[in-house]
Structure formats: C-alpha cells, structure tokens
Amino acid sequence: MAAKRRAQMVEETRAKLIQAARKAFATKGYAAASMDDLTAEAGLTRGALYHNFGDKKGLLQAVIGQIDAEMVARMRAAQDQAETRWLGFLAEGVAYIEMALEPEIQRIMLLDGPAVLGDPSLWPNQTACLRATTQTIQTLIDEGTVRPMDAEAAARLINGAALNASLWIAAADDPHAVFAKAVEAFRYLAVGLRQAES
C-alpha cells in the first residue's frame, strides 16, 4: 500500500499548488503573484513548486491546462442540449462568451496566458476550446449548413469575436444590457458563414 501512497501524495501537493496558483493568478495577476505567498498558502515552500513545475511559467501552464479542460466540458454541455447542430454552434459561442466573463478565466486564460506563454495556438494543449469549435464548424460544412471554407479559420475568427465581446461586457457598467447587444451582433456575424439557400 505504501507503493501507492507515494504517487498519491505527489498528486495532492500538485493539486494544492495548482489551486493556490489559480486563486493567486486570478486575483493578483501572474506578474504580481508571489511564489512565496502562493506556496505558503498551500502549506508548502518554493522548493516543492520548482521540483514539480520547473518554474513559474510551468505552474501557469498547469493551471491553464486545468481550466482549459473545464471550459471544453462546459462548451460540450451547451452544444449537446441544443436541438440542431446550427443552434448548438450558436449555443457554444454564447457559452464561450459567458465563460469569458468570469474574472478567473479572463485574467488567466485571456490576458496573462497569451502574454506570458505566447499565442494560445502554440500552447501544448492547443486550447481545446478552439478544437471544439473547429470540429463543430467542420461538421456544419460537411452537412451543407455552412459555406465550404477553412473550418479552423472560421473557428478562430468566431472565437476572437466572442472573446472580445466578453472583454467588452466585463468592462461595461451594465453588463446585462451589453451582453444582449453582443449576442445579437454575434448571431448576425455567424449568419454570414451560412450557405446561401439554393
């Protein structure tokens, strides 16, 4: 039984560090988050951190990987409960906007992540979100709902539009009203992708 204790303990400390990092990065931002404070709050020291993640950027990567997985799950959920594929695609976009409204996701995934690790498309995970959107669009192209075009290109632009919408909403005085405007504009934009009726 001691054979498993080892790996389990390691997994626990990694989880503790990631959780503490999520909190610190989200509230203070990556640059202002102190590794000493961070590890202390997890009941550890910087030694554990450097042993497990190499450096500060490594820790950020781990945090991003965790959040990314959660985002994909939520996008799938939104898509699955839509009636048609097209509506599922729209729901996916709206779900993305909603997620990007959360301060934690905004700060870590949208602001600090790209600044520290470079463009998300180069990340190890390849931002699973983007893959999900690309796959959805490809399916819509195959079934003739969307014009024949590069699915990844469409996914990237759509994601970018949704992303900026979120940043806008988050900074607004009246998020609710702005959210409505953004979703309306988003639907119009998406319509541009559709195949002209034959």
**In the complex, what is the shortest distance from the CB of residue 166 to a copy of itself, in angstroms, rounded to a whole number?**
9
Q: Tell me which DSSP letter residue 197 carries.
A: P
Q: 31: buried, middle or exposed (CB in 10 Å: 19+, 13-18, 0-12)?
A: exposed
- Within 162-181, the residues that bind a copy of itself by CB under 8 A are 162-165, 167-168, 170-171, 178, 181
Residue pair 52/17 in contact (Cβ under 8 Å)? The answer is yes
**In the complex, what is the shortest distance from the CB of residue 49 to DNA, in angstroms, rounded to a whole number?**
7
Single residue of 116, 132, 141, 173 touching a copy of itself by CB under 8 A: 116
- Sequence-ordered strand ranges (E) for 93-191: none
Residue pair 72/132 in contact (Cβ under 8 Å)? The answer is yes
Tokens of 22: 């999520």
Report the C-alpha gap between 33 and 14 in whole angstroms: 18
**The one-letter amino acid at 109:** M
Is the Cβ of residue 53 or residue 89 nearer to DNA in the bound state?
53
Single residue of 18, 20, 56, 97 touching DNA by CB under 7 A: 56
Report the C-alpha gap between 121 and 167 in whole angstroms: 20
**In the complex, what is the shortest distance from the CB of residue 12 to a copy of itself, in angstroms, rounded to a whole number?**
31
Single residue of 46, 74, 85, 156 touching DNA by CB under 7 A: 46
* Contacting residues toward a copy of itself, per CB under 8 A: 29-31, 111-112, 114-116, 118-122, 147, 149-150, 152-154, 156-165, 167-168, 170-171, 178, 181-182, 184-186, 188-193
* Contacting residues toward DNA, per CB under 7 A: 2-7, 9-10, 13, 33-37, 39, 43-48, 50-52, 55-57
